[in-house]
Amino acid sequence: MWIDRLCVSMELRKLFSFALTSITAGLAAAFVVLILQPGLLNDTQQTPSPLPPAITQPPQISQQPSSLPDPVAPNGPVSYSAAVKKAAPSVVNIFTTKLITEPRNPIFDDPAFRSFFNDQRAAKPRQRRENSLGSGVIMDSRGYILTNNHVIEGASEIQLFLHDGRNIPAAVVGTDPDTDLAVLFAHTENLPAIKLANAEQIEVGDVALAIGNPFGVGQTVTMGIISATGRNRLGINTFEDFIQTDAAINPGNSGGALINAHGHLLGINTVIFSKTGGSQGIGFAIPASLAQGIMQQLLVHGRVVRGWLGIMAQDMTPELAESFGLPQVEGILISGVLERGPADLAGIVPGDIITQINDTKSSDARDILNTIAMQPPGSIVTISGWRGQHRLKLKALIAERPPKPRR
C-alpha cells in the first residue's frame, strides 16, 4: 500500500514542477518582450475608432432618366433646337453674280499691233462672271431682307435660297456703306419674318447662336456667348456699335442672324477678326435695333439721313494739350474745314479745339462724329471749345451728310 502512495506522490511532484517551470518561462518571455518592445503595452490601451453611422434605409437607385434639370446648371437647356427651328426659316442664303471687266493689255493700244491684228483683239475688253455668297435675314413678311452691303456690293444678279428650298431673285432697295448694311426685296409674300430681341435685355454671357451659309456648305448653326457689347474704334465701318461673340462666324456667314436662346434676333453677323480667314472666336454683329433703324430710313428715304459739319479732326494728346497750353487733355483738334461747309459758315477754323456739342462732351474724334451724325439736318447745335487761350462758343447749322463715294 505504501508503495502505491509513494508513486502517487512522485507523480504530483512532477506535475507541480512542470507547471512551475512553464509559468517561470512565460514570465521570462514576457519580461524580454516588454524590454525590447515597450510600445506594445500602449498600443493595447488605445481607444477603438468610432463606427460609421448606421444606414437605416438602403439608397434608392432609379432606373429611369430624371425629368429634373441638371442641378449643376439649372438655367441652361440641353438643346437649342426650338430656338433654331423658330429662327432658321427666316435666314436665307444669298448667291450673287458680278460682271468683272478685266483691264486690257497696254500692248493693244500700240497702233502697229492693232493694225497687224485689224483691231480685232482690241475691239472690246474682256468680261468674266464672279460668284460670291453670303446670308440674309427676313425682316418683313412682304419680302424685305437685311444683309451686309459687302455681300451684294456691285452685284448684277442676286438669288435667294430659302429654307423651304425655293430659289427666288432679289433686288437692292438701298445700301448704307457707313454701317455695311443693305436692304433687299424679294417679290413674294408670306415670308417667315424673324422676331427681334429686346435690346435692353442683352447682356454679356448670354447664349448666342449664329445662323448662316459658311463656305457655301448650306445653312449652319454655331453656338457661343455674347462676349461684349458696344464695340467700336475697330476701323471696320464709319459708324460702329458691334456685338462681339465667340460663336463661329466664317466667310458666307456675313449678313446672317445672331439669335438668342429664344430664337429672337440679336444682330446681323458682319465680320470676324482673323489672321487665317477662319473663325478664331472673335466675331462682330450689328445690333438688331441699329439695323432696323437703318432699314426704316432706307425704305422711307432711300438713304440714311445723318448730320454733318464738314470738318476733319484728330484726337487730342498730352503733347498737343501742352503745346496749346490747355489745363487738361480733352476735346478734339480741328485739322481741316471744308470750304463753304456748315463748320466754315459757322466760323470754325483749323486749329480750333472742340470740347462739347450741345450738352455732350467729346472724348475723341469718333465720339464727335457720332454726336454730329445723330443730329437731324436743319437743326442748330452749340459748339464749345478753345481757340488758343480763349474760350470758344458758337452755333452751327447741321447739314445732311453726303453719301460715301463708291469704290
Q: Any idea how long the chain is?
A: 407
Q: Residue 146 belongs to what H/E stretch? A: strand 144-147
- pLDDT of 6 > 60? The answer is no
Check 90, 135, 227, 254 and give the catalytic one.
Answer: 254
Check 132, 135, 150, 362 and give the catalytic one.
Answer: 150
pLDDT at 73: 39
Residue 357 C-alpha cell reads as 456739342
Q: Is the pLDDT higher at 110 or at 327?
A: 327
- pLDDT of 56 > 50? The answer is no
Q: How confident is the model at residue 89 (pLDDT cuts 50, 70, 90)?
A: very high
Domains of the chain and any CATH numbers? 83-185 (2.40.10.10), 199-301 (2.40.10.10), 307-400 (2.30.42.10)
DSSP string, 168-205: EE-EEEEEETTTTEEEEE-S-S---PPPBP-GGG--TT
pLDDT (average), residues 344-351: 92
Of the candidate ranges 11-15, 204-208, 260-264, the one whose mean pLDDT is the lowest: 11-15
pTM of the model: 0.69
SS3 266: strand
- pLDDT of 62 > 50? The answer is no
Check 180, 246, 264, 279 and give the catalytic one.
Answer: 180
Residue with cell 423651304: 164
SS3 299: helix
The answer to whether residue 163 is catalytic is: no
The answer to whether residue 262 is catalytic is: no
Q: How confident is the model at residue 344 (pLDDT cuts 50, 70, 90)?
A: very high
Q: How confident is the model at residue 260 (pLDDT cuts 50, 70, 90)?
A: very high
Q: How confident is the model at residue 168 (pLDDT cuts 50, 70, 90)?
A: very high
- Secondary structure of 304-328 in the HEC alphabet? CCCEECCEEEEECCHHHHHHCCCCC
DSSP string, 70-102: PTTSTT--S--HHHHHHHGGGEEEEEEEEEEEP
Report how far residue 377's alpha carbon sits from residue 348's, in angstroms, rounded to the nearest whole number. 18
The answer to whether residue 180 is catalytic is: yes
Q: Which pLDDT tens digit goes with each residue over 302-324?
A: 899 999 999 988 888 888 878 87
Nearest to 136 by CA among 209, 176, 185: 185
pLDDT (average), residues 55-75: 41
Residue 291 C-alpha cell reads as 439695323
Q: Is the pLDDT higher at 106 or at 255?
A: 255
Q: Residue 145 belongs to what H/E stretch? A: strand 144-147
Report how far residue 347's alpha carbon sits from residue 311's, in angstroms, rounded to the nearest whole number. 12
Between CA 327 and CA 334, with CA 331 as vertex, the angle to 5 degrees is: 115
Q: How confident is the model at residue 78 (pLDDT cuts 50, 70, 90)?
A: confident
pLDDT at 386: 86
